[in-house]
Chain A
Amino acid sequence: MTETVTTLTAEELVAAERDRSAERARRADQRRRLLQNSGVLVPFLIVLVVGVAVVPNFVSSSNVTNMLVNAAILAIVGYGMTLVIAVRGIDLSVGSAQALAACVAASVVNSAGPFVGALVGILVGAGLGAVNGLLVTQARVPGFIATLSTMSVFRGLVLLFTGGAPIMIASAGFKDVATSSLLGVPTPFVIAVLAGGGMWFALERMRFGKHVVAVGGSPEAAVDTGIGVNRVLLRAYLIAGASAGVGGVLLASQLGVVNGSISTGLELQAIAIVVLGGTSMAGGRGNIVGTFVAALLLAMINSGLNLLNVPSFYQYVALGLLLIFALSIDGAQRAAVRRMLEGRHS
């Protein structure tokens, strides 16, 4: 055997390796984006086309308004969940927190007027989120367990608060918010778009957003670069609670009557839209736009099934299947990226 001799210099080899690695990264990025976007856009378009074609009254103005309001409330809760999942956490208590915020808001609206009521409702949500955040950062309870527990605690509190009886909202002005519209667009939907824009800006353009990506993407790096990991986590849970509160206030306005058992199962819907929207359960980058589109998708599915008089039992099945689909996309996407990048870190 003869010696393997090459005339390439080190610099040339490095340059070649660098080019290859850049090319690999570009392809991985492309594929990731494709999977991420098609994961929500393809189902969205299919449901939209099928809905328009098959479901009676799907595009009637009252149903469109209804869908947009439902989607808006869901999307707002989803933004908070996006943030929490981006930092590798999870918030299972959003449904209970939303119910408590809605009921407290309703009762304060009746006693102190709509503005104070709305404000108190949002603050209640933020407070409950802060409790979750403190449990995770100070008591060191894993997010899953902490919020599973507070899901039960908050639900108990709202049932105690209402005494099991519904609360009727007297203020017509408050109830009008959900049904009013700005330039023909339902107000809650406008709020959802504005809130989404704000969240997107915070995540993509602000220091906080960089820290969120760092904490979720590489916690060790976050610690070593001097990022206050606990502060980021606390804020994420607090914002998740506050967005559940905003959702609760809008829900109270939409329903006009609230009781202690509203918003059960909301956590599953919120997680489903976040993951379907392209935010990875493994943490890292949150995809606010994806969450927004996925909220619209879920609202269309629910409304379509309702209009087709499909029993609500099937809606549970549909939601579960949707979540599984979303998670399998998430897994496939990560596997694809890993395959593309495999072997780089030797």
Chain B
Amino acid sequence: MTAVLQVEDVVQEYPGVRALKGVSLDIHAGQVLGLVGENGAGKSTLIRVLGGIEQPVRGSVTLKGVPQRFRSSADSQAAGISVVSQEFRQVPQLSVADNIFLGHELTTGGVVQRGRTRTRSTELLEQLGMDLEADRPVSSLTVGDRQMVEIARALSRTFDVLIMDEPTAALNGAEITRLHAIVRRLAQQGKAIVYVSHHLEEIFAICDDVAVLRDGELVARQPTSELDEPRLVEHMLGRKPTTYEHVSTGEGEATDVRLAVRELQVPGVAEPFSLDVRRGEVLGLAGLVGSGRTELTRALFGDLVGLGGVVEVDGKAVRLRSSREAVRHGIFMLSEDRKSEGILPHLDVTENAMVSRDRRSLPWSRRVLPLRRDESAEFARLRDEMRIRVPHGRQLIGNLSGGNQQKVLLGRALLSGCSVLLLNEPTRGVDVGAKVDIYQLVKQLADRGVAVVVSSSDAPELAAIADRCVVYFAGRQVAELRGRDVTEENIVGASVGQTAQEGSHD
């Protein structure tokens, strides 16, 4: 059997980074190939190369025996590759049907056949088990529905190879099952499918083979049947996974409440939020995309203005109409988008760490004219304490790795003297080693009395650091897990609404 798609020695470079270091891969008709690897391992880059969005520096892509040079996504699609991309590439102003057929409209002489477009779209969506009106603007859909539209769009083209980049990230249990059935059926029809997922159980459920990428290299390619989960994780990490030993204090009850949220109504989320976070406690917020937890953290930081309800910090009701007010009241947030909402890339690490420093304890002269010497000393202290790997305080923060950047930002939070710290996806784009460091730092911050709220889509992460975990689904709290019950299984289960009924004991 010859391969439908052959990738040979593909190299891709970005300024300063070698994202793919010569990857070779082939896939046969009727095969479902799982593609796994950590964030930054090169999965997305490979997909962008196959999709024609990026042109590799070196290497070749052969489709059905014909060498291909994709100059645009149109080339790749014409050759027979269809991609379900991770970010939704949809035009909000267009209808569901128009989005599905965007780029390959059904037309006669340039005029769109509206009837056929609509019926074909409805058919495709029905195949996916959706009864969506094809005329609705895509901007009005829920995230899960938009994901389905994205999949319908990929299926609407004629293709030999289907690449699915985390297609289930925003889907619930029933939808995932349905999608898996579709993937299997497509494979039976002789399509080749590349399936990317972070959920390893998915890989084991539907993939025939697994390819593991690590640091831009293909480190393993094996039939799924020869692997088990720990072995696969070992391949991904390149070593046995280190675990962060979580010591749940459990006696958080005795201490005082630092952050109290009562019936906070957040725009776009159906139900008001209520929660308490105690001194020294790490509270996890879990839930799928669209669950409302991101809106909650943004509202607590004054980034979204709440429509009603009370937020109290240390027993005092505060008004949060802007981030500035939030910081003044002792709430600090590290955004999930570190690059554009966290670091100040053109400043050095010292300046980055000092920018939100609480200056109230400093003399007047120092507030107006900060002394470089003072700040350098302060930063040196911070660097040792937080194990930031940086040669000197003058280093531009943009040149650091994600993990070290995050440590600097945690230092910034520390110096702001905040009493409540909101962390959004604190280890996104951070390598495994630094992850453990960051967990320890979060714990340290909590031990100093800060109330920490961690919102994360990474269930193992929450299981590792949270003392207590609240799970949201479509804007509703569906579970609250505490102590020993904060496990990956419980979080994932509750996130998709499956074990919401079970609850847990105290």
The interface of chain A, by Cβ under 8 A from chain B, is 1, 3-11, 13-14, 16-18, 20-22, 24-26, 28-29, 205-210, 213-214, 217-218, 220-228, 284-285, 339, 341-346
Contact = CB atoms under 8 A, between A and B. Distances in A.
Interface in B137-175: 137, 139-145, 153, 172-174
10 contacts: A3-B504, A8-B476, A22-B136, A24-B268, A205-B114, A224-B51, A226-B77, A227-B74, A227-B103, A344-B290
Interface of B: 51-53, 72-78, 83, 85, 89-94, 98, 102-105, 107, 110-112, 114, 136-137, 139-145, 153, 172-174, 266-270, 289-295, 304, 473-480, 496-498, 500-501, 503-504, 506
A206 B108 CA distance: 9
Given A4-B480, A210-B94, A346-B143, A225 B290 contact: no
A74 to B, nearest CB: 26
Given A6-B501, A28-B140, 19 more contacts: A3-B480, A3-B503, A5-B503, A6-B478, A7-B501, A10-B500, A25-B139, A206-B111, A210-B94, A217-B91, A218-B91, A284-B92, A341-B268, A342-B268, A343-B268, A343-B269, A343-B295, A346-B291, A346-B294
A130 to B, nearest CB: 20
B199 to A, nearest CB: 16
A234 to B, nearest CB: 16
Contacts of A222: 91, 102
B92 A225 contact: no
A55 to B, nearest CB: 39
Interface residue SS majority, chain A: helix
Nearest to B473: A13
Contact of B172 (A10, A228, A284): A10
Contacts of B145: 18
Contacts of A223: 53, 72-73
Contact of B478 (A4, A26, A28, A220): A4
A228 B77 CA distance: 13
A207 to B, nearest CB: 5
Contacts of B477: 4, 6
A6 B292 contact: no
Given A214-B102, A226-B73, A8 B500 contact: yes
A198 to B, nearest CB: 12
A116 B484 CA distance: 86
Interface residue SS majority, chain B: loop
A3 B291 CA distance: 19
Contacts, number: 169
Given A10-B172, A18-B142, A213 B94 contact: yes
A28 B498 CA distance: 33
B474 A13 contact: yes
A106 B186 CA distance: 64
Contact of B270 (A16, A218, A285): A16
A214 B95 CA distance: 11
Residue of B174, B268, B295 contacting most chain A CB atoms (<10 Å): B268
A207 B143 contact: no
Given A10-B498, A225-B103, A344-B268, A22 B140 contact: yes
Residue of B77, B103, B153 contacting most chain A CB atoms (<10 Å): B103
B304 A10 contact: no
A223 B51 CA distance: 11
A132 to B, nearest CB: 23
A214 to B, nearest CB: 5
A13 B497 contact: yes
A226 B81 CA distance: 12
A341 B137 CA distance: 12
A344 B78 CA distance: 33
A18 B148 CA distance: 13
A217 B94 contact: yes
B140 A346 contact: no
B91 A14 contact: no
Contacts of B53: 223-224
A3 B270 CA distance: 20
Residue of A18, A25, A343 contacting most chain B CB atoms (<10 Å): A343
Contacts of A220: 89
Contacts of B269: 343
The 10 closest A-B pairs by CB, nearest first: A343-B268, A25-B140, A10-B497, A226-B74, A225-B103, A17-B474, A346-B294, A221-B89, A3-B503, A224-B89
Given A4-B480, A217-B91, A346-B289, A225 B73 contact: yes
Given A4-B477, A346-B289, A14 B172 contact: yes
A239 B207 CA distance: 51
Contacts of A214: 91, 94, 102-103
A221 B479 contact: no
A24 to B, nearest CB: 7
A224 B474 contact: no
Contacts of B78: 226
A1 B475 CA distance: 21
B102 A221 contact: yes
A205 B107 CA distance: 10
Contacts of B143: 344-346
Contacts of A218: 89-92
A216 to B, nearest CB: 8
B173 A10 contact: yes
A53 to B, nearest CB: 39
A285 B91 CA distance: 11
